[in-house]
Amino acid sequence: MAELARNYHNDLQKEGTDDTSERARTERIKDLLNQTKPLEYSPELQDLTEHISEQCIKDALLKTQTGKASGLDGIPYELWTTLQKIHAQTDESEASFNVLALLEILYNDINRYGIEENCEFTDGWMCPLYKKKDRRDIANYRPITLLNTDYKLYTRILATRLAPVASTIIHNDQAGFLPGRKISDQTQLCRVMVDYAEATEENGAIIALDQEKAYDKILHGYLWTTLEAMGLPTKFINWIKNLYQHATTIVIINGERSTPFIVTRGVRQGDPLSCLLFDLAIEPLACAIRASNLQGFRAPGMAERLVASLFADDTSTFLSQNDKWSDLWAVLDNWCEASGARFNKGKTEVVPIGTTEYRQSVITTRKLNQHADEPGLPDFIHIASDGEPVRMLGAWIGNKTDQAAIWAPAIHKVNAFLERWKRCHPTMKGKRNIIQMGPGGITQYLSEVQGMPKEIEDTLTKMIRHFIWDSDRPPPVNMETLCRPIEEGGLGILDIKARNEAIDLMWLKRYLTLTPDRPRWAFLVDTILAIRVTKEAGQIKRNAQINTFLQDWHPATHSRSQLPVYLKRLLTTAKKHNACFAAVKLGPSVKLQLPAWYHISADKHLRRLNNTRLSNCLRDNHNVRVVADLLKASQHPPFIQSGQPGKDYDCTCEACNNTRNGGCKHPMKCQEAAARITNSLSAKWNPKEDNIPDGLTLTAKRKEHNEGVFEEGGTATFDPSLTTRSGVSEAIRVFVEEETITKAPAIRQRQGRTVPAEAITVYVINAPKQPARGGTRPKKAQSDGRGFAYYAKNDPRNNLVQSEQSGRVEEESWAEATAALYAAQSTPLDAPLNIVGETNYLTKELIQKIHKSEDRGWLNVPNQALLCALANLLRQRCAPTTFRTASTREEQQDLIAARREATEARQRSDPKPIEMKMNPIFNLSGVRLSTLTQKLAYQHIRDRKAVETRRATQRTMSKIIERTREQPGAPSDPAGIWNGIRVRDIRRNIQDFLWKCTHDAHKCGKFWESVPGYEERGTCHTCGATDSMNHILTKCKAPGQDAIWKMAGNLWKRKKLRWAKPSTEDILTAGTREWKHETGREKRRPRAERLWRILVTESAFLIWKLRCERVISHSDDENWHHTEPAIRTRWTRMVNERLHLDMAMTHRRFGRKALKRSEVLGTWQGTLRDELALPDDWTALNWVLVGIEAAH
């Protein structure tokens, strides 16, 4: 079989090469490349032939993925990575092998001298991977060539250099494997084109072309000539030629090797460089199509007509009803003759678009151009009818397609995936990962390019719920709770609906990319939305509509609207999550870029000016579209008065003559109308409003100084600027709080003269519960969020402060930020403020990270609410604010004095409450849309969902918190308790048990009271009491519970610590319990804490298992109980199994998951049988020799 595959691919290289003479092919290539523009000089072009350095090789090595198959030499990437790490960790004084230096010599030698004929550097082995159709036909297998890793490192370096150059050569219509270009834009273009043509009644067709063995058929001669015509350096082209000059390939199937064959044609699939080479090879085809007389489609805003889009070998062409099929195929044939490629005519599919009548006529007559004198489309070309989807790049495109039918195979695949994994009985954490891989991973791409209907969302959610609980009945814990994070009592289960909304927001991000890189489909959407406006919008002029998110008109999204479903969902999601133009303050250039008509800030008066006769003239004759055009039209040189007063049409100035020639009859009136509209804009939006600089916005030099502070220390100045200057897209935000959208610009009060002598210096510190000895800072400050602001010794402004905590809090830094907020509130706005901290926390958060944090909506930033309030207040100040970390001797002395006063203040009085006030004018809320990612959007959507805590959970949590307050050091907040359940020392199935206990989700006790006919199951047959979890684990008189806790107590006492029978709350908080020395010292005993976690949770779980065996497995015999010897044996075996598991986990094969030997030895010290006879390190001994004594 290997030899058959070898012969097939060897013959494939010769196929079709004799059909065209070399002379004719050369002429074809010359004609084709005449339409390709050579590359202009750029720095990236010069970088192509630079010396390959060690750093280049290191960067390429960092980009490689581990676990990949190796080439013929059997060397994986991991070898090079390991050798490099060993060399990097070796001291410079010691000799070590530098593998990067060796590769540097090798690669530069190849660049200089080429590759020897018998060298195996370029040899590869082919692994045929099945695609579809008949498995017996080798043509139905994808030929992936596995190359040596040193070869792929070399070509990865070349590909990294070529990528930025290729992006400048290749037109934006081609998106394959180029940085910043996405396959989803190509699929969206085809989908939107179908609806655009129907909405505008522009008829035509989408042609889906299929190349036959595309990567394998490109002629090398054509490829080298193309690279030369595109302007790539000859030296770089020769480097690529070297890779194919003596390249050979063998085929390996089931371990059998074929004889080698020489690669004389095509580019190798499996080579990092091949994708870019193929992109460059097919670019002349795209140029030829664009240069042809095919009309394609044009839409408002598009710089060029739309006639083709490409993603590697997948080509889609867009033909209008006036285009001829023969013209398209002539271009394709010319390229095929030049390149050696071939289109599979039998797989070509046509999707008619436009009106229903036209689509039907194309199917009937098999003609795109009904008036052309040419034969119809060949019979072997398939024309899709209405309701029949055609697959293009993984998306299904067509007219009036059934989305549920398209999703059916994916749903079947997900169901089979879950059923297969269900047989493994995974834990809850395992199920979460499986759901992420299955329902999440399988549906991700199709959801992105196709959109998921609501009924499919509901089906998937139901499948996930059934998989988690193994039942179709109402779940013990609802899905909303399961989707919450672990620290909120959930499992982090994928929320399908939230994921789909996040995908919609990513489409919104692409749509609102208002830069030259804007995707073509976005211009088509502009037209569709402009057509489907609401009735409330009135008579809107089409040439006044630019973008609904930048103007005061709205598309209709109601059920009767003819807007496509995916666009309705896009707009609905945007509205739901408050996506809008949310700039706090605008720079002059941004104001000028905004649309002039239906202005986003329009009031009733301004709206009346949109549809007047003069407004129509400004739009039609003066080409006024944006505010910059409006401002230009309002400016006019002095008019030359005509002989007839009041009549401006006789003005003979050049400006009036030009305006009149453009169609305007009354230039003066239009000029006055433009000025009137401009003056109607409020101060925030009016470009004529001059914002006088206040000198607080940092200059480039000040920003550079701040960067140096982060590395070298010193004083950093806070930048209060909120002005958007970079473009309209940067001002669009999502998840915006409605109360922060104001019409007033964020302008600080005018400052007087800044007097340095009036500057106020404040030391802000954490005031810990543990008193500082000698005024020094404790190594581990036990903070409760109280801060202290220190001005000077015995200064009346010195104060102990505290603010109400919310969200994710870090106590020590919260205290420092609270003190800084108090200092800012207490200092006059016009007085310079210098804040000195004992850490660099505030400098990092408010100067280094603030812009990134605001772009992300402060997501996952500790102390979010407090930092927002502090930044809001500092931006209102009209004097400079600086931050620095205490470093000099004098500052350290002041810190010591501050800590002493803080200690006295804690003992003397309660802290002063600090209120976190927010001025909405200076509040930059939400997330910058241009920086949004799907992950970030998903997290924000989940955070915004209001999920009520289950009443049963709330009851249990209240009891736990009440109990933990009696235990010093134990967390008393729900987040700490939930995280304590998931500590690594507790086995995952026991974690699930404890999690269900906290939610009161086990089927016992009161659960059965609501199940008719099964009420007796809620009562313990032994005790006659309600069979609740508290009763089962701590009170039941049936054999098992009491005996197990006594055995656990006896083992625990060997640690020389006191024992008390755990309550249910103690069991649920075992993961967070702290134990200290009995001598009264404050030092914790982490090894004893680990044994407590293991002993208590394992014992509780065994009690539950014994109860289930007694009540469920032996339900037919109410008198059946476990015997005392059996209980002792089970408990002893359970503890020994856990001990032996710890011993096994110390092996280095577990890598980062391995346990430290000292940790295991310390955990079990004092509990083992014949421990004095064991060696110091018994973790590697035979398990028979190590164990605990039989329980008594």
DSSP string, 1115-1180: TT-TT----HHHHHHHHHHHHHHHHHHHHHTTSGGGGGGPPPHHHHHHHHTT-BTTGGGS-S--TT
Distance CA 243, CA 230 (A): 20
pLDDT at residue 658, as a whole number: 82
Residue 352's contacts (CB-CB under 8 Å, 6 or more residues apart) are 203, 204, 205, 358, 359, 362, 363, 368, 383, 384, 399
Retrieve residue 895's tokens. 């810190």
Mean pLDDT of 846-874: 93
What span, in angstroms and rounded, lies between the C-alpha atoms of 924 and 857? 9
The alpha carbon of residue 522 and the mean position of all alpha carbons in its chain are separated, in whole angstroms, by 22
Q: What is the mean pLDDT of residues 553-571?
A: 93
Residue 1047 pLDDT exceeds 80: yes
Q: Within 13 A of 345's CA, how many CA atoms are on the CB side?
A: 10
pLDDT level of residue 96 (50, 70, 90 thresholds): confident
Token pair of 821 as six digits: 């907020």
Among the residues of 875-950, which ranges form H helices? Answer: 889-908, 934-944
Residue type, 837: G
In the chain, the percentage of residues whose pLDDT exceeds 90 is 62
pLDDT of residue 164: 92
Domains of the chain: 2-365 (no CATH), 403-494 (no CATH), 602-680 (no CATH), 700-721+738-925 (3.30.420.10), 951-1185 (no CATH)
| Residue 1072 dihedral angles phi and psi, to the nearest 5° | -120, 0
Beta carbons of 350 and 385 less than 8 angstroms apart: no
In this predicted structure, what is the pLDDT of residue 647?
A: 52
**DSSP secondary structure string for all residues of 1079-1111:** TS---B-HHHHHHHHHHHHHHHHHHHHHHHIII
Residue 473 — pLDDT band, cuts 50, 70, 90? confident
- The residue that leads in pLDDT, 460 or 1188, is 460
pLDDT bracket for residue 650 (50, 70, 90): low
pLDDT: which is higher, 811 or 736: 736
On the question of pLDDT at 636 being above 90, the answer is: no
Residue 212's pLDDT band (cuts 50, 70, 90): confident
- Span 765-819, pLDDT tens digits: 988 876 656 556 655 556 778 999 999 998 999 999 999 887 788 888 899 999 9
Question: b/e per residue, 321-351, with b = 16+ CB within 10 A?
Answer: bebbbebbeebbebbbbbbbbbbeeeebbbb
Q: Write the DSSP symbol of residue 426.
A: -
Q: Give CA torsion, residues 403, 405, 410, 415, to 10 deg.
A: 120
Provide the token pair at 897. Answer: 């004095």
Q: Is the pLDDT of residue 207 over 70?
A: yes
pLDDT of residue 1156: 94
For residue 57, pLDDT beyond 90: yes
Residues 414-428: what's their mean pLDDT?
95
The stretch 1125-1152 carries a mean pLDDT of 93
Average pLDDT value for residue range 89-112: 91
Q: What is the DSSP string of 175-197?
A: -TT-TT--HHHHHHHHHHHHHHH
- C-alpha closest to that of 338 among 283, 276, 378: 283
- CB-based contact 1093:1035 (threshold 8 Å): no
pLDDT at residue 315 is higher than 80: yes
Among 168-182, 945-959, 1077-1091, name the one with the lowest average pLDDT. Answer: 1077-1091
Closest CA relative to residue 770, chosen from 761, 783, 757: 783
**pLDDT of amino acid 909:** 84
Those residues with Cβ within 8 angstroms of residue 725's Cβ, 6 or more apart along the chain or in another chain: 587, 589, 590
| Coil/strand/helix, residue 584 | coil
Does the pLDDT value for residue 506 go beyond 90?
yes
Coil, strand or helix at 705: helix
Among the residue ranges 4-8, 416-420, 658-662, the one predicted with the least confidence is: 658-662
Q: What is the pLDDT of residue 18?
A: 64
Please report which confidence band the pLDDT of residue 700 belongs to, taking 50, 70 and 90 as the band edges: confident
Asked if pLDDT for residue 184 goes beyond 80, the answer is yes
Torsion of CA 652, 653, 659, 661, to 10 degrees: 50
Q: Are residues 436 and 430 in contact, defined by beta-carbon separation less than 8 angstroms?
A: no
Q: What is the pLDDT of residue 1186?
A: 75
* Reduced 3-state DSSP string for 377-402: CCCCCEECCCCCCEEECCEEECCCCC
**Are residues 607 and 971 in contact, defined by beta-carbon separation less than 8 angstroms?**
no
Residue 948, pLDDT above cutoff 90: no
Contact at 8 Å (CB) between 341 and 17? no
**pLDDT confidence bin for 908, thresholds 50/70/90:** confident
Picking from 673, 666, 631, 672, the residue whose alpha carbon sits closest to that of residue 651 is 666
pLDDT of residue 1079: 62
Q: Is the per-residue pLDDT at 871 higher than 80?
A: yes
Residue identified by tokens 């007796």 is 1016
End-to-end CA separation in angstroms for the chain: 68
Give residue for tokens 């016009």.
Answer: 830
For 1172, residues 6+ apart whose C-beta sits below 8 A from its C-beta are: none
User: Once rounded to an integer, what is the mean pLDDT over residues 392-421?
Assistant: 96
Among 348-357, 555-564, 643-652, 911-920, which range has the highest average pLDDT? 348-357
Fill in the amino acid letter for 1163: T
Q: Kind of pairing, strands 723-724 and 732-734? A: unpaired
Judge whether residue 753 has pLDDT over 70: no
Residues 274, 240: contact at Cβ < 8 Å? no
The span from the CA of 695 to the CA of 707, in Å, is: 20
Task: Provide the CB-side half-sphere exposure for 1076 (13 A, CA).
Answer: 9
Q: How confident is the model at residue 695 (pLDDT cuts 50, 70, 90)?
A: low
Q: At what angle do helices 667-680 and 627-634 cross, to 10 degrees?
A: 130
Residue range 739-761: average pLDDT? 71
What is the structure's pLDDT at 1082?
64
pLDDT (average), residues 1164-1179: 90
> Rounded to whole angstroms, how far apart are CA atoms 397 and 188?
9
**Does pLDDT of 276 surpass 90?**
yes
φ and ψ of 727, to 5 deg: 150, 165
Average pLDDT over residues 51-65: 93
Query: Which H/E stretch holds residue 803?
Result: strand 799-803
The rounded mean pLDDT for the chain is 89
Name the pTM for this structure. 0.93
pLDDT (tens digit, 9 = 90+) per residue, 663-675?
A: 888 888 888 899 9
Asked if the model's pLDDT at residue 19 lies above 90, the reply is no
pLDDT greater than 60 at residue 640:
no
Q: Tell whether the model's pLDDT for residue 374 goes beyond 80.
A: yes
Strands 248-253 and 204-210 come out as unpaired
